[in-house]
Amino acid sequence: MHYLQQILFVLVLAVASYLLVKRYKFIKKGINLGKPLDRTNRSSDRWKSMLLVAFGQKKMFKKPLPAFLHLFVYAGFLIINLEVLEFIIDGLVGTHRIFAPYLGGVYTVLMNFFEFLAVAVLTSCIIFLIRRNIIKVPRFHKPEMKKWPTLDANLILITEVILMMAILKMNAADQVLQAKGAEHYTHTGTLFFSSFFMPLFENFEVGTLIIFERAFWWVHIIGILSFAVYVTYSKHLHIFLAFPNTYFANLNPMGKIANMDSVTNEVKLMLGMPVEGDAAAPPAEVVGRFGAKDVNDLSWKSLMDSFTCTECGRCT
């Protein structure tokens, strides 16, 4: 039975990895269609900007309540998914909580911290669903925010609720199995938040409890892998792209416009002035183009901006 689960897990992981790599290559290819742009200077300022804006959510705190909730969801979800490393190792080698025997009491502290974050993410997602669908915050219901943007946001929030509940109920069933002395269920110590769900499982036999615990484990890991693939088609791609996007941000003062050589040369030609590097005017059939007519007229950074857009409704 364990070997069957391992084989199934390897297949699931392989399919998810293939889809992720394929999608990553597609997005990278799309961004590289843009014109070259050098954004490698002032690396220390770029790291600072990335930490403050992408991870620290600096711009969100103009509205403190949604900012704190979003910070819980964003940071919480990223940190909780460190536990996915253990899930993957367990799935590949057929172990259960492989780090628990080595970390001892530290493992209990970490699991309780992850559960605290899971509850914070769960609570925040429920509040966000209420704000979107019951309170109906106006900026979420502009014409351009209807249909797919709304559905996409609700799908992500509901998925996160399911994933967080799966963690808590898996840990609850696991603790009951530990108390019943089930084989292979390593003692983790008391996990505070999931212990509130333990009464739901205490009257089941060990065999049934194992089915529950495994089911929640599979729901969580398949949910995480599916989420990772789906996000690459969603506005929530900013979960990953926000970091490189803020790192490569324009650090020049707002309002400063770079001199465009093509415009300068065009003006000089109109005034009969020599163009640097080429005194002769271009052939009549060569017409300069200003602005952006196609994707290739934009810089790669502008294309990354489009992939990173959160469709939050603030700019409209």
As given in the structure block, the two tokens for residue 132 are 């979107």
pLDDT for the residue 290: 67
> Is residue 172 in a domain?
yes
> Is residue 312 in a domain?
no
pTM, to two decimals: 0.82
pLDDT for the residue 283: 55
pLDDT for the residue 315: 67
pLDDT for the residue 77: 76
How far, in Å, CA of 11 to CA of 190, rounded? 34
Q: Which residues contact 314 (CB under 8 A, 6 or more apart)?
A: 139
> Is residue 174 in a domain?
yes
Backbone angles phi, psi at 201, to 5 degrees: -115, -5
Contact, 5 vs 94, CB < 8 A?
yes
Backbone angles phi, psi at 229, to 5 degrees: -75, -45
Residues of the chain falling short of pLDDT 70:
1-2, 262, 276-290, 312-316
pLDDT for the residue 122: 94
pLDDT for the residue 157: 93
> Is residue 276 in a domain?
no
> Is residue 239 in a domain?
yes
> Is residue 54 in a domain?
yes
> Is residue 244 in a domain?
yes
Q: For residue 201, what are the domain limits?
A: 42-251
As given in the structure block, the two tokens for residue 84 are 């996915």
As given in the structure block, the two tokens for residue 123 are 């609570």
| Domain total of the chain | 1
> Is residue 313 in a domain?
no
Torsion of CA 49, 50, 51, 55, to 10 degrees: 130
pLDDT for the residue 287: 53
Q: Would you put residue 181 in left (φ > 0), alpha (ψ -120 to 50) or beta?
A: left
